[in-house]
Structure 1
Amino acid sequence: MIVDLPSSTTSAVNKKIVELREKGGVLALGRVLTLVIVTNDGAELEPAVEAANAASREHPCRVIVVARGARKAAPRLDAQIRVGGDAGASEVIVLRGYGPLADGEAAAGMVMPLLLPDAPVVAWWPGEAPAVPSQDPVGRLAQRRITDALASRNPIKAIEQRRANHVPGDTDLTWTRLTPWRALLATALDGPPHEPVLSATVAGETVSPSTDLMAGWLAARLNAKVKRSPNDGGPGLTSVRLDRPSGPVELVRPDGKVGWLRQPGQPDRQVALMRREVRDCLAEELRRLDHDEPYAEALAGWSKVSRGRTPVKAVL
């Protein structure tokens, strides 16, 4: 069900939500958080809502979408409420402010009356995010702030801004996309021969922030030299090599779909390493609402990484 409320107010939106609940019983009350999505253009809105709806099946929540309208217009708030099959396991409220209501401070003011009481608030920017999310008017309302440097016009500049302005509660989906890689590498090192890593090489696209974060994480975790090398032959992160006395542990993914794990004394193992969907990354981030310490360590470890200029070719 979709209910449009043109030229409305937040009070009218709240009243309509209560009316829908009492009249049709279409809204459940077991929401665990409020997810505020800040979009910069119309193209971002529907994909972001679809991702939030998919994630809401694991984390029932109220979704508030701030969709900025034309700034050169008379002050007006157009609202829309989506419930039932159009909202997954959540209730979706779309707020589009025009004129002065399109600014950040006004957006935060519109969001506040609609936040669920006594529930955590998570802010998500699916596209371009502010340089300092924690200082953004909407970001100040949230315990967790999710960005996605890969969706920025300049992903490397965006992740550098995250590094320079990181505070507890910040995270980025370029980090979440590394979860399968980190799990496979940690599992490989947990098994015998339990040798120390002498050095590591991480290769990926020049414009891949995930590759930089992987190198930073290894530099923070290993007492070894870590080198970040370019490899523009495949999408995103393409390979990680961990050198040990008995031989290297290598995880290679040249095509963005299937990876190969190689270890001394063991047959090569094929592993699924498909590039993760945004909805899966978002669902993972909503599982934890505390400080993401490994992400902070990866950002801090960035300064310890050496940069290689020679492109690395992933070999199967």
Structure 2
Amino acid sequence: MKIDLTDTTASKINKALVQGRRALGTPAVGMVLTMVIVTDEENAYDSMKAAEDASHEHPSRTLVVIKRQARTPRDRTRSHLDAEVRVGADAGTGETVVLRLYGEVSDHADSVVLPLLLPDAPVVVWWPVDAPDNPAKDPLGALAQRRITDLYAVEDPQRVLQARVASYAPGDTDLAWTRLTPWRSMLAAALDQARTKIISAAVEAEAENPAAELLARWLEARLKVSVDRVVTAGPVVTAVRLGTDKGEIVIDRPEGPLATLTLPGQPSRTLALKVRATSELIAEELRRLDADEMYAIALRGGDGAEEGAAHV
């Protein structure tokens, strides 16, 4: 069910949500958090679809904030809010409100969003594109326990990565880091099996890949070794090589959903290591809303390592 509201207010939006639930006979229970998506019109559909798919695991109220550009002088002086309320099958397992902000109200999106947050529930803010330099200090980011950005969506990921290091606050995370979860799990398992000292390391990936840089920094912090960045044709991260006094530990995924794991003195094994959809990444991030300490360590690289750390 969809309800369109023109030149509206937060109060009218809340009434429309109640109206929609009553019409469908759906109670306002079971939702565990509020997801705020701050995006543009071009990326709104894909972002909503990812959030809708993730809501099957994490039922939520999704607020999509779209700040519209003024097209005429009248648009620049006329401040108003249009909304689209979705409940039932049109909103996954929760409910969705698309908020289009015009004029001066665009500068006060937090005031629009605040009355629409679920009471006594965590808030997660996700910027699929155009994230602020300091997410925790952003007015919308300040409302959230968890703030999700994506280094894959920026033109200069290495510069933005350095800005993330300077602005990091507990609750910040990035989908470039989330994409590495299968790699990190496999590397940890391989090191548990090998039980040998790491003396060198290399991460192979396409040029300027932000996940590869985070992976290299994480390995430097946890293994206390220098990690070589090796440029390949990609796509994304293609291999990790860890040198030991017994031989190399290698996870190699040049393409496709399968990787090859090689341990010293053992036959190679084939493992599943697919590139995951955005909805899977979002669902993973919503499973934990506390501070991601490993992400903080990865941001800072060797500077963020604990003294004496010798394993992943």
**TM interval, short-chain normalised:** over 0.9
> Which position in structure 1 is the counterpart of 2:128?
126
**TM-score normalised by length of structure 1:** 0.91
> Which position in structure 2 is the counterpart of 1:252?
252
Q: Which amino acid aligns with 1:197?
A: I
Aligned length: 300
Q: Per the alignment, in what secondary structure is the counterpart of residue 198 of structure 1?
A: strand
Q: Which amino acid aligns with 1:215?
A: A
1:143-162 matches, within 5 Å, as: 143-162=145-164
> Which position in structure 2 is the counterpart of 1:313?
none
Q: Per the alignment, in what secondary structure is the counterpart of residue 249 of structure 1?
A: strand
Structure 1: segments with no counterpart, 5+ residues? 306-316
Structure 2: segments with no counterpart, 5+ residues? 306-312
Q: CA deviation at 1:169?
A: 0.5
Q: CA deviation at 1:70?
A: 2.3
Q: List per-residue Cα deviations over 1:90-133 (Å, max 9, x = no partner).
A: 10011101011122xx1111000000111011000011211110
Q: Which amino acid aligns with 1:56?
A: S
Q: CA deviation at 1:230?
A: 2.1
Q: List per-residue Cα deviations over 1:8-42 (Å, max 9, x = no partner).
A: 11110011112222343235411111000001x21
Structure 2 distance, partners of 1:52, 1:189, is 35
> Which position in structure 2 is the counterpart of 1:213?
214
CA RMSD of aligned residues (A): 1.6
Q: Which amino acid aligns with 2:175?
A: L
Asked whether 1:87 is paired with 2:87, we answer: no
Say whether the 8 Å CA contact 2:64–2:96 is kept in structure 1. yes
Q: Per the alignment, in what secondary structure is the counterpart of residue 247 of structure 2?
A: coil
Following superposition, which runs of at least 4 residues in structure 1 exceed 3 angstroms of deviation?
Answer: 302-305
Structure 2 distance, partners of 1:196, 1:129, is 40
Structure 2 distance, partners of 1:145, 1:63, is 14
**Percent identity (aligned):** 49
Say whether the 8 Å CA contact 2:126–2:149 is kept in structure 1. yes
> Which position in structure 2 is the counterpart of 1:230?
231
> Which position in structure 2 is the counterpart of 1:194?
195
Structure 2 distance, partners of 1:256, 1:205, is 15
State which of 96, 109, 117 in structure 1 corresponds to 2:100. Answer: 96
Say whether the 8 Å CA contact 1:258–1:271 is kept in structure 2. yes
Structure 2 distance, partners of 1:48, 1:211, is 24
> Which position in structure 1 is the counterpart of 2:2?
2
Q: Per the alignment, in what secondary structure is the counterpart of residue 198 of structure 2?
A: coil
Say whether the 8 Å CA contact 1:248–1:264 is kept in structure 2. yes
Q: CA deviation at 1:5?
A: 0.7
| Residues 25 and 152 (structure 1), Cα distance of their counterparts in 2 relative to 1, 3 Å cut | same
